[in-house]
Structure 1
Amino acid sequence: MTSLPTSDPDPAALAPLVSRTVALTPEAGATLLSLLPDAGPRDTTSWVRRGDGLVGWGRALSVTARGEDRFAALESWWRSVSASAVVRDEVDLPGTGPVAFGSISYAARSPIGATLVVPSVVVGRRGDQWWVTTTSTDSLPAQADPEVAGDVTAPGGVAFADGSLSPAEWAGAVGEAVSRIQAGELDKVVLARDLDVRTESPVDVRWLLSRLAERYESTWVFAVDGLVGATPEMLVRREKGLVTSRVLAGTIRRTGDDEHDLALAASLARSSKDLEEHEYAVRSVADALAPHCSSMNVPEAPFVLHLSNVMHLATDVAGVLTDDTSSLALAASLHPSAAVCGTPTPVADELIAELEHMDRGRYAGPVGWMDASGDGEWGIALRCGAIHHDDAQRMSLYAGCGIVAGSVPEAEVAESDAKLIPMRDALTAPPQS
């Protein structure tokens, strides 16, 4: 059952949303992330890759839904808000006009639920085009004039501690999962672990975003309602009738030696264990998109995606949309994919609940944005951490690994450690010179 908190009003009871988008000429040298003011963890939003994307601050409206129908509840709310909105859009690109940023809990049973946030101010960039959107429930919202925000605050001393399971206990869970797979109960399961973080000073989201963007430029650097990270995986993009999805499954850690890493990439591309894991994930995405798309393009073999800390097997799936399904509804049809759950999905999901001993929260759930037309981009919340809503000096970091019959527990612990590096480094990075 889905519930909506009383603090989030019914859109029918609100004054219509008023939104104005105009072209923007930023200061020389400005970046999207440099324009973010100190709005606090819950009211800072970001979706940025290689300098392009969207950032926002403030909160004109928001809604939270929980339970099995959380996607549908958010979709209904946003359609209602968008239908009654008064929009002046002088730019007319995907991401202009009113925009909602969202992050969705992995599990329906999670009390954290799913949240959409409509920022008061959104700044967007696509190549040489910049724009700013101001949104409110007032009849005449003040037009923002964003400026470079200045210095951000370092988190100070950072202490890491085991989360729900120690590495040894988590390796035991991996071993149990391998036994279940070898017994024929399922083909694959994705197991995650968490890490507790305490910081000397409240976490400034902008500190994390800027450091993640510096080191992982090929990822989407995101922030929604206190969830912060850099995901390499595009769950689904809908733009003017074209639907695309990037599937990542199968991982190997980089050494920093280019020649050695090329050899590792070649071994990854030949690994029967990793190719099997990847095939499950690609099949689950293609099957979910097929009812909504025609002219599906599913490459026969993956390519190796090189990130600064790891390499992944990757496949880009594409199709032409044949109905009016929104990007959020497409994300709902894809979640949870084999890349974050397993195969068969119901069996893998039950095993996750049994072996992980934690609430994933919004880790491994969809995260991204949607505009009033339904276009948008939704990634999978990976390489991320959640700032606690009641204590900005505490975070939970997450990482997961795909477990198949040939998985070795010690190797999976090492892989999870590699996937925790982006957030660990972002928290402990020295100040920029």
Structure 2
Amino acid sequence: MNTASLPRFRVVSRPLSRVPDLVRLADSENPLLWVRKQRGFVGLGVAYRLDTHGGERFADASRTWATLQENAIVDDPIAGPATGLIALGTFSFASNSQTPSTLIVPRIVVGKKDGEAWITYVGDDSADPHPAAASLASADVFDVAQLDDFLALAGVKGTVPETSTWQPLQWQTPEGETEAYRAGVAEAGRRLDAAAIEKVVLARRLQAPLAEGADLRVPLGRLAHRYLDCWTFAVDGMIGASPETLIRSIHAKVSARVLAGTRRRDENEARDEELSRELVASEKEQLEHRFAIESLVETLSPHVTDLQHDAEPSLLQLPNVWHLATRVTAQLADGADAFELAEAVHPTAAVAGTPTPLAMDTIDELEPFDRGRYAGAVGWVGAGGNGDWAIALRSAQVDHSHSPATITAFAGGGLVVGADPEHELSETVAKFRPLMEACS
């Protein structure tokens, strides 16, 4: 792609006097958000947007981002991983998806980490800086009490009253898709029995109309509050709370969290404990998890040294499910940026299958819809190759292109030998639960 005509930015970052509520600060209709526990950031306004398709989508984003950074004049005394010029992105699961992969540079970023906060303004480079850039650059510490005035000065919609508009969603399965899911699991089982594939992940979806003026900060706030061990995200209408790190690279330290193998939670404490023990003891679930680890190690190894992972998976306890989880760490060896690392490891066996090319063909054949960005990469990139990508799980896509707007939620599960259609359907019900409750 041609990067010669890309904009030149003047970027200013400063500490904030106190930490604001990031979810409340987000745009209610088109939020840009990345938060987990006491860290993350919100984007306001759009300084630049890239939409790309196909097998070059990660490379297109990487080349564009490199040029944007090279062209930018950055005034950032904080020099944190997510200060200065950053972008949020959401990438399609498959290269043949009709849904664009999108990279967005926010006009303003407000972030927090370890009890401290910052603000960044991204303006067009000119001899006469925008008044917003000048006012921010003149401050050693920006007073958060002036934030609304600053947003207005920058031409960005300010914070809104605490009252929000939200009506519980009425979810429905698209006609025929429950039966198609059961049939797909059964057919995948036959192929697994014939040893044509070792694992494949099949998904299904639910859809609901959105009321006019629906405030997406309501479900996002619920997700962020309840799923503290997940990244709550919103990028170009793709919203959710993912427990799984695809790849994180900060100052050449690389890490990932692999999840594969699931049991639903139960309100009965004794039964819940029994389900967790079943998961650990399950040969099927352990096999599924091993495939996911092997997939990541194989694809990541060419880019790193000192690659290590837990000898045995641990139990990750979320409000809706138990997961088998393994943390992987490594040291970057070849200077690959966050886009290149994400492209190398996507799609993992945890969301596609093994062997990956055959699993992807099987998904394309057996799923009666385009996944879009579900199970793709979602996250952010900063300077120096830094970035943090999650797998877009426990997620839904908002579509404002027609009236009423709609939201489509996705959930899936890994199939290995012995997969049972009813059990797998039940697993997807548990995985839909975070969004169902957040949107109630």
Question: Following the alignment from structure 2 to structure 1, what is the Cα–Cα distance between the partners of residues 27 and 194?
Answer: 54
- C-alpha deviations, 1:85-139, integer Å up to 9, x for none? 0100021111010101000000111121211000011111111221111112243
1:131 aligns with 2:118: yes
1:343 aligns with 2:354: yes
Corresponding residue for 1:34?
24
CA RMSD of aligned residues (A): 1.6
Q: Of 10, 17, 41, which residue of structure 2 is paired with 1:25? A: 17
Q: Of 391, 397, 407, which residue of structure 1 is paired with 2:409? A: 397
Change (3 A) 1:358 1:37: closer
Question: Following the alignment from structure 2 to structure 1, what is the Cα–Cα distance between the partners of residues 368 and 344?
Answer: 26
Corresponding residue for 1:409?
421
- C-alpha deviations, 1:138-195, integer Å up to 9, x for none? 4324157535643253332522211364323311211111111001110000001111
Change (3 A) 1:230 1:288: same
Corresponding residue for 2:277?
266
Question: Following the alignment from structure 1 to structure 2, what is the Cα–Cα distance between the partners of residues 12 and 18?
Answer: 17
1:352 aligns with 2:339: no
> How many Å apart are 1:14 and its aligned residue?
4.1
Q: Of 5, 8, 13, which residue of structure 2 is paired with 1:16? A: 8
SS class of match (1:217): coil
Question: Following the alignment from structure 1 to structure 2, what is the Cα–Cα distance between the partners of residues 111 and 137?
Answer: 31
Corresponding residue for 1:88?
75
Q: Of 52, 57, 62, which residue of structure 2 is paired with 1:65? A: 52
Change (3 A) 1:157 1:254: closer
Question: Following the alignment from structure 1 to structure 2, what is the Cα–Cα distance between the partners of residues 168 and 283?
Answer: 32
Q: Of 106, 109, 113, which residue of structure 1 is paired with 2:96? A: 109
Q: Is the 8 A contact 1:36 1:149 kept in 2?
A: no
1:382 aligns with 2:382: no
Question: Following the alignment from structure 1 to structure 2, what is the Cα–Cα distance between the partners of residues 422 and 354?
Answer: 28
Question: Following the alignment from structure 1 to structure 2, what is the Cα–Cα distance between the partners of residues 94 and 86?
Answer: 17
Corresponding residue for 1:225?
236
Kindly provide the amino acid, as one letter, of the partner of residue 330 in structure 2.
G
Corresponding residue for 1:252?
263
1:200 aligns with 2:190: no
Q: Is the 8 A contact 2:38 2:115 kept in 1?
A: no
Change (3 A) 1:11 1:23: farther
SS class of match (1:201): coil
> How many Å apart are 1:37 and its aligned residue?
4.0
> How many Å apart are 1:241 and its aligned residue?
1.3
1:288 aligns with 2:299: yes
Identity among equivalent positions (%) equals 37
Residue ranges of structure 2 left out of the alignment (5+ in a row)? 137-145, 149-158
> How many Å apart are 1:324 and its aligned residue?
1.2
> How many Å apart are 1:18 and its aligned residue?
1.3
Moved over 6 A (4+): none
- C-alpha deviations, 1:41-88, integer Å up to 9, x for none? 2xx211100121111111000101111111101100110111110100
Q: Of 305, 308, 320, which residue of structure 1 is paired with 2:331? A: 320
SS class of match (2:324): strand
The alignment's TM-score, normalised by the length of structure 1, stands at: 0.92
Question: Following the alignment from structure 1 to structure 2, what is the Cα–Cα distance between the partners of residues 14 and 166?
Answer: 43
Kindly provide the amino acid, as one letter, of the partner of residue 146 in structure 1.
L
Q: Is the 8 A contact 1:366 1:380 kept in 2?
A: yes
Kindly provide the amino acid, as one letter, of the partner of residue 373 in structure 1.
G
SS class of match (1:367): strand
1:160 aligns with 2:182: no
- C-alpha deviations, 1:234-271, integer Å up to 9, x for none? 00110111100000000000002333322221221111
Change (3 A) 1:252 1:95: same
Kindly provide the amino acid, as one letter, of the partner of residue 91 in structure 1.
I
Residue ranges of structure 1 left out of the alignment (5+ in a row)? 5-9, 429-433
SS class of match (2:372): coil
Kindly provide the amino acid, as one letter, of the partner of residue 392 in structure 2.
A
Equivalences, count:
415
Matches within 5 A, 1:47-66: 47-66=34-53
Q: Is the 8 A contact 2:168 2:439 kept in 1?
A: no
Kindly provide the amino acid, as one letter, of the partner of residue 388 in structure 1.
D
Kindly provide the amino acid, as one letter, of the partner of residue 41 in structure 2.
L
Corresponding residue for 2:139?
none
- C-alpha deviations, 1:182-225, integer Å up to 9, x for none? 01110000001111111233432212210111221111000001
Question: Following the alignment from structure 1 to structure 2, what is the Cα–Cα distance between the partners of residues 240 and 295?
Answer: 15
The alignment's TM-score, normalised by the length of structure 2, stands at: 0.91
Kindly provide the amino acid, as one letter, of the partner of residue 147 in structure 2.
P
Corresponding residue for 1:211?
222
Q: Is the 8 A contact 2:169 2:210 kept in 1?
A: yes
Q: Is the 8 A contact 1:163 1:193 kept in 2?
A: no
Change (3 A) 1:164 1:328: farther
Corresponding residue for 1:185?
196
Question: Following the alignment from structure 2 to structure 1, what is the Cα–Cα distance between the partners of residues 398 and 380?
Answer: 20
Corresponding residue for 2:140?
none
Corresponding residue for 2:147?
146
SS class of match (1:158): coil
Q: Is the 8 A contact 1:203 1:393 kept in 2?
A: no
- 161-170 or 293-302, which moves further after superposition? 161-170
SS class of match (1:132): strand
Corresponding residue for 1:431?
none
Kindly provide the amino acid, as one letter, of the partner of residue 75 in structure 1.
S
Question: Following the alignment from structure 2 to structure 1, what is the Cα–Cα distance between the partners of residues 59 and 235?
Answer: 19
SS class of match (1:153): coil
Q: Of 285, 299, 310, which residue of structure 2 is paired with 1:299? A: 310
Q: Is the 8 A contact 1:164 1:194 kept in 2?
A: no
